[in-house]
Every structure is written in C-alpha cells, then in structure tokens.
Amino acid sequence: MSEKNKNSVSFEALSSLDAPVPFWKGIPFGLQHVMAMFVANLAPIFIVASAAKMTPAQSATIIQAGLLVAGLGTCLQLYGAWLVGSRLPMVTGISFTYVAAAVAICADKGYGAVVGAVMVGGLLELALGLTAKYWRRFVPPIVSAIVVTSIGFSLLNVGATSFGGGSGAEDFGSWQNLTLGLVSLVACLAFQLLMKGTAKQLSVLFGLVVGYVAAIGMGKVDFSGFRDLAIVSVPQFMPFKPEFDWGAIISIGLLYVVSSVEVLGDTAALTKVGLNRQPTERETAGAIAGDGLISTVSGLFGCLPLTSFAQNIGLVAMTKVVNRKVILSGGLILVLASFVPAIAEIFNSLPQAVLGGCTIMMFGNIILSGFQMIAEAGFTQRNITIAALSLTIGIGFTQVSDIFAHFPALFQQIFASNCIAVAFVVAVILNAVLPGEEHFLASKPDQR
C-alpha cells in the first residue's frame, strides 16, 4: 500500500455511520461541517442582540455562548443520552425560526423575557420529542411546508433592515450601508456561481470576509472591542436574568412546536440523502428531544434556541460524509472556539449592512425550500386550499396587526406580529376540519 493510501481515509469509512476513523484524520471533514454552518449559527444572535440594543460586551457574551451550545448540541445529537439525541450525523446551530419573535419580545419586554421563554420552551420541545409517536400523525407534510415558507417570509424584513444598516442606525439607508450590503451580496453570488462541489457551502463566509474588508476600507468597523481582549475566556453561565412572561413563553413555545415539525422533515431528509433509508421512530423522537434539551441549556447561557441545520444536511447530500466520529471533531471545534473571545469579537465588529447582504439570500432560500416542500407534499386541491389560506391569513393579517385590536392582550402579544404562529395554527385547523381530496374534485363531465 502506498504512503498516500496509508494516510488517507477511505470513502467507505466516511460514508459509514460508525466505521473506525482516526480522530486526527477526520478533522478536515469535521471542519468542513463547521464552516458550512458557522455564519448561519451566529447570524440570528447578531440580529437579536442588535434589536435588544446590547452593549458590545453583552453581544460578545452570547456569541461566545452560541458557539458552545452549538458544539454541545452536535455532540448530543451524534451520540445521545437515554432517549435524547438522534444518534445521527446532525449538526445543531442557533435557529432562525425564533428571530422575528425574539426581536418583537425584546422591543416589548426586554431580552430577559426571551431568555426565560427559551428555557421553558426547550422543556416543552423535550416533552414533544419524548411523545412524538402520539402526535406526529397530526402534522402532515403540507403543514411542515407552510411553516418553513412562513419562516422565510417572516425574516425578509429582518434581512432588509440589516441591509440598510440595522434597526435604529443613525445612517440607516445611507449609500455606504447599501454599498456594503450590495458588495457582500454580489460576493456571495459570485462565489456560489464560480466554485464547485462542497466549496459552494462557504459562499456566505466568503461574502462576509469580502464585505468586512470593504467595511474596513470605508472606516465602518469599530475595533475598540479588541483592546485588552483575553486570549482565553470561559463562557458565562446565566449572564442575563431570566424573566418568565406568559405572553413571551406562549409565543416562543408555539415556535418550539413549529421547530419540532421542522425536525421531522430534517431527520427524514438526512437519513434519505446520507443513509438511503427512512428514520426510525427512535431517531426522530430523539432528534426533537435533543433540540429541546440543548435549547434549555442555551437559555441558561443567555442564548437562543437551537435546531438541526439544513446547511449540513445539504453537505451530507453532496459529500455522503456521515461518520459520527468525523462530525464529532467538528462539534468539538465549536466548543473550543467558544473559549476564544477574539472569534466572538470579530463577528461583533461586523457591520449590520455586511450581514444583511449575506443573510438576505439565505432567507430567500428558506422560502424556496418551503415551496419545494409544498410541491413534494403535492399540489392537490386540498393542499392548495390549506397553503393558500394559511399563508394569506398568517402573512396578511400580521402585516395589518390592528385587525387583532379587539382581541385579548395575551392573544395580541402571541399572534399580532408572529406570522409563523398564525400560519401554523390555521394550517393545523384546516388540515383537521377540511374533508378529503375527493370532495374538492370536480364532478365528471356528462358522457354524451
């Protein structure tokens, strides 16, 4: 056997769930999974921290925590504990599902209410995971598709706000901000079009780097946070005092239900593209429970909820790398990165316009993923009716929130500005009450 073959890892080992792979030789493949999700993991934190008007130190604290819980969540999903964790090659990260609701809660109740809701909601998702076999039949693919589509639409104004310079920015919409957003967006697109294979997964990272360099040249980067920065720092436990507000808990709790539905689809997609089979009941339930448990832990560190990352499922589809030991190295890299404050500070100094230029494309992709899921669920007349009404009511009514003016205050807090929750509830109700497809079909024409 040649020296090259001795030092390489076989494709058979990488594409096998539990084949023995030397830890050090698996690191490059694990690092690839980290790079595919790194930016998307921190972007929700960055957006919510900006909306909550956090100090640079506070923002850096939750970015640091975001790296820690993403790594711990990945390790939990890979190997599991009791009935918690899928034991599949899942990589977890901070979820965009909760961004719009968290921003709204920050404006009304403050970030402490978000933290309290994250902790309680995580326990709800843990319970949903452990009881998944009893309720999953009530959530067909069309409902999951509507949820994903509404998530994408709910984030469009968030991306546009970042593109203009961030909420409350004195120079919002200035030509400098719009130029930075456009430069970042063009860099993302160019990288995705010109690169081949798995390198395409790094297009957002490339766009951020190009935008960051351009921002430095325009004098838009504040380097003051790097002064007296420690080389190593331990992530802070409970850096924010949690507040348990019922409106915030119900609002975020509904999104945990939505996230549980998303995980059903993610688990099925992962086992299909990576293992060429359907997930077992234990794997699906464990995946949901794992997301719930690590999300509660995330709240204890002052951070946002986590979920399995679609970016990494896409990477599995392209590379077929599913070896748990290989992906474990990626999870451990995230944990180690959480102890290096400089990493958090780099993202903390990133101008909002640069982030907006990159994330606006990501949000559009979420919408398109939802459309694809609707197509996969089938364009039956019943599904079209459910999708049309759910999206129209969910997105339309929340754009004119005064329509809920005479509803109870708690109802308004949960639904008035949360199109995901409204679309989900409407979709579930319609799926339960509408008759079967045969009632939607036109009668046969007369045979004359």
pTM of the model: 0.77
Instruction: Taking the CA atoms of 50, 53, 57 and 61 in sequence, report the sign of the dihedral they define.
Output: negative
pLDDT over 90 for what percent of the chain?
36
pLDDT at residue 202, rounded to an integer: 66
DSSP H or E stretch at residue 266: helix 246-275
**What is the C-alpha separation between 181 and 356, in angstroms, rounded?**
6
Closest CA to 75 of 110, 34, 112, 39: 34
More confident residue, 330 or 34: 330
Closest CA to 94 of 308, 369, 356, 332: 308
More confident residue, 51 or 116: 116
The tens digit of pLDDT for each residue in 10-24 reads: 778 888 888 888 888
pLDDT at residue 322, rounded to an integer: 87
The tens digit of pLDDT for each residue in 171-185 reads: 899 999 999 999 999
β-strand partners of 308: 92
Mean pLDDT of all residues in 158-187:
89
User: In the structure, what pLDDT confidence band is assigned to residue 272 with cuts at 50, 70 and 90?
Assistant: confident
pLDDT at residue 2, rounded to an integer: 47
User: How confident is the prediction for the chain on average, in pLDDT?
Assistant: 86
Closest CA to 88 of 322, 245, 292: 322
- Annotate 222-243 with DSSP letters as a single string: --GGGTT--S--PPPSS-S---
- Helix, strand, coil % in the chain, rounded to nearest 5: 75, 0, 25
The tens digit of pLDDT for each residue in 300-356 reads: 999 999 998 866 777 787 678 889 998 999 899 899 989 988 877 777 788 889 888
More confident residue, 360 or 283: 283
Mean pLDDT of all residues in 57-78:
93
Mean pLDDT of all residues in 210-222:
91
Domain boundaries, the chain: 22-436
User: In the structure, what pLDDT confidence band is assigned to residue 3 with cuts at 50, 70 and 90?
Assistant: very low
- Count of C-beta atoms within a 10 Å radius of residue 210: 21
Q: Amino acid identity of 114?
A: V
More confident residue, 88 or 156: 88
More confident residue, 155 or 405: 405
pLDDT at residue 445, rounded to an integer: 53
User: In the structure, what pLDDT confidence band is assigned to residue 256 with cuts at 50, 70 and 90?
Assistant: very high
**What is the C-alpha separation between 58 and 225, in angstroms, rounded?**
11
- Torsion angle (degrees, nearest 10) of CA 150, 152, 154, 158: 180
pLDDT at residue 241, rounded to an integer: 93
The tens digit of pLDDT for each residue in 228-244 reads: 778 888 999 999 999 99
- Annotate 272-335 with DSSP letters as a single string: HHHHSSPPPHHHHHHHHHHHHHHHHHHHHTT---EEE-HHHHHHHHHH----HHHHHHHHHHHH
Backbone dihedral region for residue 378 (phi beyond 0: left; psi -120 to 50: alpha; all else: beta): left
User: In the structure, what pLDDT confidence band is assigned to residue 79 with cuts at 50, 70 and 90?
Assistant: very high
Mean pLDDT of all residues in 248-268:
86
Instruction: Taking the CA atoms of 263, 265, 267 and 269 in sequence, report the sign of the dihedral they define.
Output: negative
pLDDT higher than threshold 60 for residue 7: no
- Annotate 161-217 with DSSP letters as a single string: HHHTT-TT-TTTT-HHHHHHHHHHHHHHHHHHHH--GGGGGGHHHHHHHHHHHHHHH
**What is the C-alpha separation between 49 and 362, in angstroms, rounded?**
19
**What single-letter DSSP state applies at residue 97?**
G
β-strand partners of 84: 81
| DSSP SS3 for 92 | strand
pLDDT at residue 197, rounded to an integer: 65
